[in-house]
């Protein structure tokens, strides 16, 4: 079975990724820089099954999911993994502040994307960041943006983000079923 990697890190906002991981219908492998307990923003603790360096050796990866959070540490191995998966046209899905990792890897150039990190919020949340990593000319003010293999979303759109990630893998028979799933997880009735 193909694997979907989920990059986990200290203080990540875990609710932004859990539904997406549930809906992908693939083996989900949490990865981190080091094998140690990771405490999320909610206080829940997670344990990675592999390091990012180890994940670089995997040959059956279908994609990578990156949640948001107030952590901007980007090691070379994460940049390498993002670029490797992008070169293979594999899914790269990031939500809230997560797209910063895609931007620093350089893969958002010429791609439509969205993020919580406006220039002002970037300075507020990450005051040590001296340069805006985002190509602002392709920013789209939408809740969820899909540009080929790249899916980005704002944090409160985690249901639509999750459904879009699942749709990327062809898990819905049609648009009606996709909308029904979205409505179900939002607690609304879809009558389409």
Q: Tell me the per-residue pLDDT of 141-153, one tens digit each, with 9 for 90 and over.
A: 999 999 999 999 9
pTM: 0.95
Strands 50-51 and 27-32: parallel
- Mind listing the pLDDT tens digit for each residue in 121-171? 888 888 887 789 999 999 999 999 999 999 999 999 999 999 999 999 999
Per-residue pLDDT, averaged over 30-47, amounts to 97
> Would you state the pLDDT for residue 191?
67
Contact criterion met (CB below 8 Å) for 53 and 75: no
Residue 192 has pLDDT above 80, yes or no: no
Name 82's Cβ contacts closer than 8 Å, sequence gap at least 6.
Answer: 64, 92, 101, 102, 105, 107
Domain 3-186: assigned CATH number: 3.40.50.880
Q: How confident is the model at residue 116 (pLDDT cuts 50, 70, 90)?
A: very high
Both tokens assigned to 111: 């791609």
Contact criterion met (CB below 8 Å) for 90 and 61: yes
Q: What's the distance, CA 183 to chain centroid?
A: 21
Residue 107 has pLDDT above 70, yes or no: yes
Both tokens assigned to 124: 């507020």
> Would you state the pLDDT for residue 190?
65
- What is the sign of the dihedral through the CA atoms of 50, 51, 52 and 58? negative
């Amino acid at each position: 079975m193909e694997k979907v990697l989920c990059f986990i890190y200290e203080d990540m906002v875990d609710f932004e990724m859990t539904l997406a991981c549930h809906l992908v219908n693939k083996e989900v492998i949490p990865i981190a820089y080091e094998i140690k307990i990771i405490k999320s923003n909610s206080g829940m603790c997670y344990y990675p099954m592999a390091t990012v360096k180890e994940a670089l050796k995997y040959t059956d990866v279908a994609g990578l999911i990156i949640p948001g959070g107030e952590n901007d540490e980007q090691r070379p191995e994460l940049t390498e993994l993002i670029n490797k998966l992008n070169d293979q046209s594999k899914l790269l899905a990031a939500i809230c502040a997560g797209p910063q990792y895609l931007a620093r890897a350089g893969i958002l150039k010429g791609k439509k994307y969205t993020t919580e990190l406006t220039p002002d919020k970037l300075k507020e949340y990450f005051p040590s960041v001296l340069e805006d990593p985002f190509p602002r000319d392709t920013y789209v003010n939408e809740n969820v943006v899909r540009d080929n293999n790249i899916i980005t979303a704002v944090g409160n759109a985690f249901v639509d983000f999750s459904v879009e990630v699942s749709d990327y893998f062809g898990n819905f028979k049609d648009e009606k079923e996709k909308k029904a799933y979205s409505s179900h997880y939002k607690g609304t009735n879809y009558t389409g």
